[in-house]
Amino acid sequence: MDYQYQARNQRGDKKEGVLRAVSEDAALRELQKQGLYVVSLAPAKKESIWKREIVFKKRASAKDIAAFSRQFAVMIKSNIPIVSALQALAGQSDNPTFRDIVLNVAARVEEGLSLSRALAEHPKTFSKFFISVVQSGEASGRMGDSLEYLADHLEREYKLKSQIKGAMIYPAFILVVAIMAFIVLTIVVIPNLVKALEQFDEDLPAMTHAVLGLSELMTSWFGPVILGILVVAIFVLIRWLRSPRGRTKLDGWILKLPLGVGDFFQKFYLTRFSQNLSVLVESGLPISEALKITGEVVGNSSYHDALERVQTRVIRGERISTALKSYPRLFHPFVVQMVEVGEQTGQLGNILIKVVDFYQDEISRKVDNMTSLIEPILILIMGGLIGFLVLSVFLPIFTVQMAALGG
C-alpha cells in the first residue's frame, strides 16, 4: 500500500513523497531508518482511473525466486539481519507483485513470526519444498548454507526448464505457421479458384477433388460445427488430464512413450528426484521427511506413489537403495547404486549432486539431438502440406495449358 508522508531530516529540511509499505507502522519504521522525523503519514489518495498508471499483476517467476534465493543467501552469510535483507531485496525487485510479497514477509518476521511461517503465508509463490529447506535452516542454525543449497537447486532447475522450453520454441513456431498457412490456403485462396477449376471437372485428378471437398467443408456451416466439437473435445480432455485419475494415466503414458521420448522424461524426473533429495538432505531434514517432500515436488504421480512407499519402508528401517530396487522401471540401476554408495559413505547429498550433473549432461545432449531431428521433419511436413495444396490446385490448369500448347 502507498503512504503519503511529510517529514524533516536532521538539518530541518522538509521532505515529502510517497512510500510503499505493507502497513503504516512499517512505513513509519522505514522513514525513521532513513533518519527522518515524520510530521504526517497517511494512506495516499487514490488517483482517478484516467490518471492512474495501469499495472498488470504478474506472478513471481522461477527466475525471480532463484535470484531472490541467491541474493538472500549472500546477505545472510554476510550477517545482515533477515528483515533488513528482505527489505533490501524487495527494493531491488522489478516485479511489483513479488516486491509486495517480500515486504509482507519482512513485516511478518519483524512482528515476531519465523521466516518459514511468514513464507508459508504465500504458498502460490513459495513451494512446500522452499519452506521446508528454510525451516531446516532455522532449526539447524545454518540458514545461510540452506539458502545457498536452495539457490543452487533453483538455478539448476530453471536452467534445465529453460533449455527444454527454448528447444521447443522453433519447432512449435514452424508447426503453427504450417497450420495457419494450410487454413488460409484452404479457406481463402482455394474458394477463389473453384470457378476456374469447375470447367475441368471431368479431368480433375483425385487430389484436386479431395482439396475442393475439404475447402467446401471448411467454408460451409459444417466447418464451424466441427471446429466447435474439436474445441469442446480438447477442453474436456484437458479437464480430465488435470483430474487425479487423468493425471495418473498421463504420467504413466509419458514414461512409456516410444522413440526415446519416455526415457528422456525418465531422466528428467530422476534429475528432479536427485536434486530435490540432495538439497533437503544437505539442509539437515530427516531422510523420511525429505523423501515425502521429494515425492510431492518431483512432478510425476508414478514417482510420487513409489516414493511414498519407499518412505514407509525407510521408516521401518530399510535403506533407501534397498527400497528403490523394488521399482526398476522408475529408478535406473545407476541411481540406485549411487544412492547405495552415498548411504555407505555418509555423503548422500554430495553423491546425488553427481547424479544430477550426469543426467543434466544426458538431457542436454538429448535436447540438442531431438531439436536437430524435429526441425527438418517439421519443415518437410509444412512443405508437404503446402506443396500438396498448390499442386492439387495448379495441376489441372497446367495440364490443360500443356494440352492446348501441344494441340
Q: List the pLDDT tens digit at each of the 407 positions of the chain.
A: 677 777 777 666 777 777 766 667 777 777 777 777 676 777 766 544 434 444 445 677 788 888 888 888 888 888 888 888 888 888 777 778 888 888 888 888 888 888 888 888 888 888 888 888 887 777 777 788 888 878 887 887 788 777 777 777 777 777 777 777 777 777 777 776 666 666 555 566 677 777 777 777 766 666 677 777 888 888 887 787 777 777 788 778 877 877 777 888 888 888 888 888 887 887 777 888 888 888 877 778 888 888 889 889 888 888 888 888 888 888 888 888 888 888 888 888 888 888 888 887 777 777 777 777 777 777 787 777 777 777 777 776 676 666 556 54
Helix axis angle, 261-282 relative to 244-255, nearest 10°?
110
**CATH code of the domain covering residue 123:** 1.20.81.30
Considering 130, 156, 182, which residue would you say is the last residue of a domain?
156
Handedness of CA 85, 90, 93, 95 (dihedral sign): positive
Say how far apart CA 368 and CA 374 lie, in whole Å: 10
Q: What pLDDT sits at residue 51?
A: 43
Domain coverage including residue 369: 170-407
304 and 399, same domain (yes or no): yes
162 domain-assigned: no
6 and 106, same domain (yes or no): no
Q: What pLDDT sits at residue 50?
A: 39
48 domain-assigned: no
311 domain-assigned: yes
121 domain-assigned: yes
Cα distances (Å, whole numbers) of residue 154 to 65, 161, 272, 302 = 8, 11, 11, 23
399 domain-assigned: yes
223 and 283, same domain (yes or no): yes
82 domain-assigned: yes
C-alpha cell at 182: 494450410
Q: What pLDDT sits at residue 53?
A: 44
Cα distances (Å, whole numbers) of residue 90 to 97, 106, 119 = 10, 9, 14
Q: Which run of H or of E encompasses 120?
A: helix 115-120
21 and 119, same domain (yes or no): no
Domain count, the chain: 3
Say how far apart CA 75 and CA 81 lie, in whole Å: 8
Residue pair 314/295 in contact (Cβ under 8 Å)? The answer is: no
Residue pair 129/276 in contact (Cβ under 8 Å)? The answer is: yes
26 and 85, same domain (yes or no): no
Considering 122, 156, 190, which residue would you say is the last residue of a domain?
156
96 and 10, same domain (yes or no): no
Q: What pLDDT sits at residue 48?
A: 46
Q: What pLDDT sits at residue 404?
A: 57
Task: Identify the DSSP state of 22.
Answer: S
Considering 109, 133, 156, which residue would you say is the last residue of a domain?
156
24 and 76, same domain (yes or no): no
20 and 90, same domain (yes or no): no
35 and 98, same domain (yes or no): no
The verdict on pTM exceeding 0.85 is no
384 domain-assigned: yes
Q: What pLDDT sits at residue 179?
A: 76
179 and 263, same domain (yes or no): yes
235 and 343, same domain (yes or no): yes
Pair type for strands 14-20 and 37-43 = unpaired
245 and 354, same domain (yes or no): yes
